[in-house]
Chain A
Amino acid sequence: MPDTDPIIRLSRVNKWFGHFHVLKDIDLDVARGERIVIAGPSGSGKSTLIRCVNRLEEHQEGTIVVDGVTLTDDVKAIEKIRREVGMVFQQFNLFPHLTVLENLLLAPHWVLGLPRAEAEERAVQQLKRVHIAEQASKYPGQLSGGQQQRVAIARAMCMRPRIMLFDEPTSALDPEMVKEVLDVMIELAEGGMTMLVVTHEMEFAKAVADRVVFMDQGQIVEQAPPGEFFANARHERSRAFLSKILG
C-alpha cells in the first residue's frame, strides 16, 4: 500500500550553521495530501526545516526521504526532488528581468522540456487560477506585493509539484494584501495539495491545516490538529507562544 507511506519522512535530522545547532533530532512524517502549518518564534528553525526538504539547505545528520528519494549529495536526486517540490518564498523571488509569463514559462520549458506552446498553456491556466491572468505581460516590479506572491505561487504550480513549501508567504506583505494570498493557498489546499507552510497566520492554520507543528530552539515541541493545539496546547512553551500571538 504505497499510498499510505508518508510522502516526506524526516528521521533524526540534525543541522548546524557553523557551531549553531539549528535543527535538533527532527522526526516528521507528512502524509500525501496533508496540510501542515509550522509555527514558532523566529530563529526556531522553521524555515531551515522546510528548506532542507528541497535541499536549499543541507542537513548533516539523519535522513530525509521525499517521495521515495533519499536526499544526498547526488545532484540528479536533488534535481528530481526539486521538480516535484514547489516553493514560495517570503520575498517572492520572482525574476525581475522577465515578464510574469516568462517567469512561469522558464522552468517548464528548460527543466521539463515542454514545448513553448504547451508551457504557455500551463502558465495561462495557473495565472487564471491565481486570478491574475491580465498581468501576464507586466514585469514583477510593476505589480503589488500580493500580486507578486500570487505569481510566485503560479510559477511553482506550473511544474505540477506534488508538494508545496511556503516559507512565510505573507510576512512581507502589506496587511491589505495578506488575504488575497491566503485565499489562493486555501484554494490549493482544497485541491488536495500536500503543503508545508511556515506562517504566523493562525487563522489560516485553523482553516486549512490538518496538523500544527510547533517548534522552538530547533526542536519540534509538539504537534497536534489545530483545534486541539489552539484550544488545548499541552506544552508550557506552546501556551506562552499562543498567548503572545493570539493576545
Chain B
Amino acid sequence: MRTDPPIPFEPLPSRAPPRAATGAVAWVRANLFDSPANAAMTLLFGGLLALALPPAVGWLFANAVWHADYAACRALERSGACWGFVAEKWRLILFGRYPYAEQWRPLAATAIVVAALVVTAFPACWRRWLAGLWGAALAGFFLLMSGGVFGLARIDTSMWGGLPLTVLLTVIGMGASIPVGILLALARRSDLPLLRALATLYIELVRGVPLITVLFTASFVFPLLLPQGVRFDVLTRITLGIVLFQAAYMAEVVRGGLQALPKGQYEAAAALGLSWWRTQQKVILPQALTLVIPSFVNSLLSTFMDTSLVTVVSMYDLTGSLRLALGDAQWRNFFLEGYLFVALIYFACCFAMSRYSHWLEHRLGRWTRR
C-alpha cells in the first residue's frame, strides 16, 4: 500500500494547430504542382483549355445569332451558333404537338408538379398531407392537360409532349417505383420461400431485358392481351411499363440498404415486441433508405434520361419534340444548337437533383455522424 501523497494530474493546455502555409500560391503549389506528374497534368490540361476555350466561347456567344433570323444564321456558315433556331422553335420543343394556343395549360400543369416536388424536397413536409397534395397536384395536371371540363378544350394524350411528358413520366416512374421496389425488396428477403422466389424471379426477369423491349410490349403487345372493350391509352400503358421496369432496379437498391443493417437492429425491435411491419416501418426502412440515397438519385437520373426512349413508341418527350422541331426543312441543319438547348435543360434538372441529394444525405444522416 502506497502512503506517499499521489502526484496530481495536470492536463496540458490545448494549443492551436501549427500554421499551415495559406493563400493562393500555397494552394496552387499543393494542389496543382505538388509532384512532377501532377505538374505535367496541370500543364497539359491548362494547354488544352487555352486551345479550346476561345473558339468555344466565340461559337457559343460572341459570333452567335440570337434572334430567329434564318438568313443571318445561314450567313454565319457555322462560325457561330444559331440560337435563332431555339428562339423560333422553343415552344414546339418544350410542349411538343400540344395545340399552340393552349400551351399555357402544359406550362401551368408542369409548374404545379414542380411546385409539389419543391414542397416534397423538405423532410419537414413528409407528413400524411403530402399524399393528399400529390393527389391534388396530379389531378390538377391531368385536368389541365386533358381538358374536357371547365370550358377547356379536350386534348388527347397522343398530343402531349415535350417537357410536361418528360416530367410526368419521371415523377410517376420514380414515385410509384419506390414503394413497389420497397415491397419487392422486402419480399425478396422474406422468410416465406414462395414469396421470395416470386420476387427474385420478377426482379431478375425485368433486369434481364432492356427498357425499350418493355416499352414496345406495353405499347403494342399489351393491348392484344386485354379483353375486348378494355382499353388503356398508350400513355397509361407506357407509364405502367416504366414503373414496373424501374421497380426492379429500386428493389435491388433498397435490398443493398437492408443488407447493410446489422442483425441486432431486427433483434432489438423483436425483443421489444414490435411486429414485423412496425419493425420495417420504424426501425429498418428509415435507416436503410437513408443509406441508399446516393443510389436512389442515380436511379432517379437514369429514369429521367430513359424517358427519352418513349419516342420509339411515338411519344414525343423533350428529345422527341426536338426532333419534331428539326423536321422543319429550313432549320434542320441547326440540330447541334437544338440538342445543346435540350441538354442544358436536362443538365440543369440533374444538377439540381444531385445537389439536393447531397443536402438530403447530410440532413437525414445526422445520426451517422458522431
The answer to whether A106 and B274 touch across the interface, beta carbons within 8 angstroms, is yes
A140 surroundings in chain B (CB, below 8 A): 367
A56 and B269 alpha carbons, distance in the complex (Å)? 11
A159 and B286 alpha carbons, distance in the complex (Å)? 23
Number of interface residues of A (CB under 8 A): 28
A155 and B274 alpha carbons, distance in the complex (Å)? 13
Would you list which residues of chain A between 96 and 133 have a CB under 8 Å from chain B? 96-98, 106-107, 110-111
**Does B2 interact with chain A (Cβ within 8 Å)?**
no
The answer to whether B264 and A106 touch across the interface, beta carbons within 8 angstroms, is no
A96 surroundings in chain B (CB, below 8 A): 287, 367-368
**Does B6 interact with chain A (Cβ within 8 Å)?**
no
B343 surroundings in chain A (CB, below 8 A): none
Shortest 3 CB-CB distances between A and B: which pairs? A93-B268, A107-B272, A82-B273
Closest to B288 in A: A97
Binds A, one of B8-16, B233-241, B275-283, B329-337: B275-283
Chain A 137-167: CB-based contact to B (< 8 A → 1; otherwise 0): 0011110000000001001100100000000
A107 surroundings in chain B (CB, below 8 A): 272-274
The answer to whether A159 and B273 touch across the interface, beta carbons within 8 angstroms, is yes
Binds B, one of A34-42, A83-91, A197-205: A83-91
**Does A241 interact with chain B (Cβ within 8 Å)?**
no
30 A-B residue pairs with Cβ-Cβ distance under 8 Å, sorted by A, are A54-B270, A54-B271, A56-B271, A79-B273, A79-B275, A82-B272, A85-B271, A89-B264, A89-B268, A89-B271, A91-B262, A94-B268, A95-B265, A95-B283, A95-B287, A96-B287, A96-B367, A97-B287, A97-B290, A106-B272, A106-B274, A106-B282, A107-B272, A110-B278, A110-B282, A111-B278, A141-B368, A141-B369, A155-B272, A156-B272
B262 surroundings in chain A (CB, below 8 A): 91, 93
Among B278, B287, B370, point to the contact of A142 (Cβ < 8 A).
B370
A141 surroundings in chain B (CB, below 8 A): 367-370
Chain B 73-91: CB-based contact to A (< 8 A → 1; otherwise 0): 0000000000000000000
Q: A86-B271, A110-B274, A155-B272 are in contact. List 20 more A-B contacts (CB 8 A).
A: A54-B271, A82-B272, A83-B273, A89-B264, A91-B262, A93-B262, A93-B268, A95-B268, A95-B287, A96-B367, A97-B367, A106-B272, A106-B282, A110-B282, A111-B273, A111-B274, A111-B275, A139-B366, A141-B368, A159-B273
